[in-house]
Amino acid sequence: MIIGILNSGGDCPGINAVIEGFVSAAYQRAWRVIGFHDGFEGLLPMAGGRRYELLTPMKTHKIRAFGGTILGTTNTGNFNVHVNKFGSASIDKETMAKAKKTITALGLQALVVIGGDGSAKTAQLFSEEGLPVICIPKTINNDLCTASDYTFGFQSAVSVVSESIDRIRTTANAHKRIMVIEVMGNLSGWIALHSGIAASADVVLIPEIEFDLDKVVDCIKARKASGQREIIVVVAEGAKLNGKWVTVKSTERGEERLGGIGNRLCRLLQELTGFTTRYCVLGHTQRGGSPCSFDRILGIRFGVEAVKLIEQKRFGVSLVLNGPQVGSVSIDEAVAQPRMVQPDSQIVQTARELGIIFGDRSAAEMAAEIKGKAPAAKRTCKSKSAKPSAGEGK
């Protein structure tokens, strides 16, 4: 068997773990693995050289601990893989024909695509052309597919953000400042929500819960009035300010990209609260560095399971993490619905119980909500001699 593997779109911690897992399991079966460079671009001929290499366990041994990807990647190029609100996946006929020619010339019996939403849609186009494709979901955003509990890369990004917030907190506390921290996530708020909980943020602003700036200001003023020194605001790049996304122009294609809400919010909060406010955009630190152990293990599991799917000749599918099991769904299902934070989910309720401000309630509304949950009768203290009832004290 000769199998091709590539990763496409933005990199994320854990890609190398997938490659290592895949190559190890493939070599146990005496298969040859060809790794394509720089995403789908590696399938296109290049004057004066090839854009792929034979991957052996010698080359991939222990790369599970490294960030980035040994194959290189791109989220631009001939395969339009931007499928957020700014575009959709498409491949022109000539490009597809060239890619198919490479696949045939190398005698590939399967192509494994490690990618996010854009890459999965591109893989779907390959699958529709009759090519045997398997997708492995990757993204720090965790927004890929409703069928998968997590994508690898997400937990590593959350760890980086949480540690950064811990650091920012000490200086914010010293100066009694409001700090606005802008995080990635594309159109989802997973990174902001999880890191906000992990690092005790006061305010978490995410695309899935529309916020009212006046309510955010009201809550911050109430916290400051209660004597709190620092206020930590975590804002997802995809959160809307006054109903609109904040974007910057990307340099290479003149295309609009999410970014800049941290700066805008910082200026507004300083103006509206009167407290000194600074902002910090964590940017690509969230995608860089070594994968955490969860992402290494998930990456390796995905790589190994992809080999098993090929063995069973199950193509046109994407791997998913479903509870403790790695399973698979059709690529169509994987790309059908992005995975977004549900405003009424348990994790959001947990954050609310911690007092996290989402900007959809004023300080008085938040207080009333807590009061509403309190039992009508006064709590009575148990006497010291009272025996614990079943289940208590365990």
Please choose, from the candidates 328, 289, 2, 268, the residue with its C-alpha nearest in 3D space to the C-alpha of residue 137: 328
Q: Which is nearer to ligand F6P, 247 or 270 (CB)?
A: 247
Q: Which is nearer to ligand F6P, 248 or 354 (CB)?
A: 248
Residues of the shown chain interacting with ligand F6P in the complex, contacts defined by CB under 6 A: 10, 75, 116, 139-141, 184-186, 237, 258, 287
Closest approach of Cβ 193 to ligand F6P, in Å?
Answer: 14
Q: Which is nearer to ligand F6P, 80 or 139 (CB)?
A: 139
**What Å distances lie between residue 372 and 176, 345, 368, 380, CA to CA?**
32, 19, 6, 19
Closest approach of Cβ 10 to ligand F6P, in Å?
Answer: 4
Closest approach of Cβ 71 to ligand F6P, in Å?
Answer: 16
Closest approach of Cβ 153 to ligand F6P, in Å?
Answer: 8
Q: Which is nearer to ligand F6P, 251 or 346 (CB)?
A: 251
Q: Which is nearer to ligand F6P, 179 or 187 (CB)?
A: 187
Give yes or no for a contact between 99 and 40, defined as CB atoms under 8 angstroms apart.
Answer: yes
DSSP string, 82-138: --STT---B--HHHHHHHHHHHHHHT-SEEEEEE-HHHHHHHHHHHHTT--EEEEEB
Q: Which is nearer to ligand F6P, 24 or 186 (CB)?
A: 186
Closest approach of Cβ 185 to ligand F6P, in Å?
Answer: 5
Please give the single-letter amino acid code of residue 328.
S
Q: Which is nearer to ligand F6P, 95 or 139 (CB)?
A: 139
Give yes or no for a contact between 205 and 234, defined as CB atoms under 8 angstroms apart.
Answer: yes
Closest approach of Cβ 152 to ligand F6P, in Å?
Answer: 13
Q: What is the number of the residue whose Cβ is closest to ligand F6P? A: 184
Closest approach of Cβ 151 to ligand F6P, in Å?
Answer: 10
DSSP string, 277-306: EEEEE-GGGGT-SPPPHHHHHHHHHHHHHH
Closest approach of Cβ 320 to ligand F6P, in Å?
Answer: 18
Closest approach of Cβ 115 to ligand F6P, in Å?
Answer: 10
Q: Which is nearer to ligand F6P, 283 or 327 (CB)?
A: 283
Closest approach of Cβ 363 to ligand F6P, in Å?
Answer: 31
DSSP string, 334-394: HHHS-----TTSHHHHHHHHTT-B-SSS-HHHHHHHHHHHS-SSPP-PPPTTPPPPTTTT-
Q: Indicate if the alpha-carbon torsion angle 290, 296, 302, 303 is positive or negative.
A: positive
**H or E element at residue 258:** strand 256-258
Closest approach of Cβ 293 to ligand F6P, in Å?
Answer: 21
Give yes or no for a contact between 126 and 4, defined as CB atoms under 8 angstroms apart.
Answer: no
Q: Which is nearer to ligand F6P, 16 or 141 (CB)?
A: 141
- Cα–Cα dist 111/133, whole Å: 5
**H or E element at residue 181:** strand 178-183
Q: Which is nearer to ligand F6P, 307 or 340 (CB)?
A: 340
Largest CA distance in the chain: 86
Q: Which is nearer to ligand F6P, 202 or 237 (CB)?
A: 237
Please choose, from the candidates 275, 277, 279, the residue with its C-alpha nearest in 3D space to the C-alpha of residue 259: 279
Tell me how far apart the terminal alpha carbons of the chain are, to the nearest angstrom: 55
Tokens of 278: 């600074």
